[in-house]
Structure 1
Amino acid sequence: MRTIDLLFDRYGESHQHPFNKRVHWLCVPLITFSLLGMLWAASPWLAMGFVLFAMGYYLRLSLPIATGMLVLAGLMLLVLSQLGEVFYISLVIFILAWIGQFVGHKVEGKKPSFFEDIKFLLVGPAWLLGFVYRRWHIAY
Structure 2
Amino acid sequence: MNAQAESAQRPIDRWFASYSGDHRNDTNQWIHVFAVPAILWSVIALLWCIPVPITWFKAGLWAALAMFAAWMFYWRASRPLGFGMLVVFVAMAWFTRWVYDTHGVWNLLYAAIAVFVVAWIAQFVGHSKLFEGRKPSFFTDLRYLLIGPAWVLAKAYRKIGWKY
Q: Does TM, scored on the shorter chain, surpass 0.5?
A: yes
Cα RMSD (Å): 1.3
Q: Counterpart of 1:123?
A: 147
Which structure's residues are more often helix, by fraction?
1
Q: Counterpart of 1:104?
A: 126
In 1, Cα distance between the equivalents of 2:73 and 2:137?
21
Are residue 63 (structure 1) and residue 79 (structure 2) matched? Answer: yes
Q: Percent identity?
A: 38
| TM-score, normalised with respect to structure 2 | 0.81
Contact 2:19 2:137 in 1 (8 A): no
In 1, Cα distance between the equivalents of 2:16 and 2:138?
17
Please report how far the alpha carbon of residue 112 of structure 1 lies from its aligned counterpart in structure 2 after TM superposition.
Answer: 3.0
Contact 2:138 2:145 in 1 (8 A): no
Give 1:7's match in structure 2, choosing from 9, 15, 30. Answer: 15
Are residue 25 (structure 1) and residue 33 (structure 2) matched? Answer: yes
- State the Cα deviation string for residues 74-118 of structure 1 (Å, max 9, x = none): 000100001123111101110110000000000201113554463
Q: Counterpart of 2:114?
A: 92
Q: Counterpart of 1:45?
A: 61
Please report how far the alpha carbon of residue 48 of structure 1 lies from its aligned counterpart in structure 2 after TM superposition.
Answer: 0.4
- State the Cα deviation string for residues 13-57 of structure 1 (Å, max 9, x = none): 111101101111110010001010100111400000001001110
Distance 1:58 1:114, change over 3 A: closer
Give 5+ residue unaligned stretches, structure 2. Answer: 1-8, 51-58
In 1, Cα distance between the equivalents of 2:137 and 2:152?
20
| TM-score, normalised with respect to structure 1 | 0.94
Q: Counterpart of 1:79?
A: 95
In 2, Cα distance between the equivalents of 1:113 and 1:13?
9
Task: Please tell me whether Structure 1 or Structure 2 has the larger radius of gyration of its CA atoms.
Answer: 2
In 1, Cα distance between the equivalents of 2:136 and 2:118?
19
Give 5+ residue unaligned stretches, structure 1. Answer: none
Q: Which has the higher contact order (CA 8 A, sep 6+)?
A: 1
Contact 2:39 2:119 in 1 (8 A): yes
Distance 1:118 1:86, change over 3 A: farther
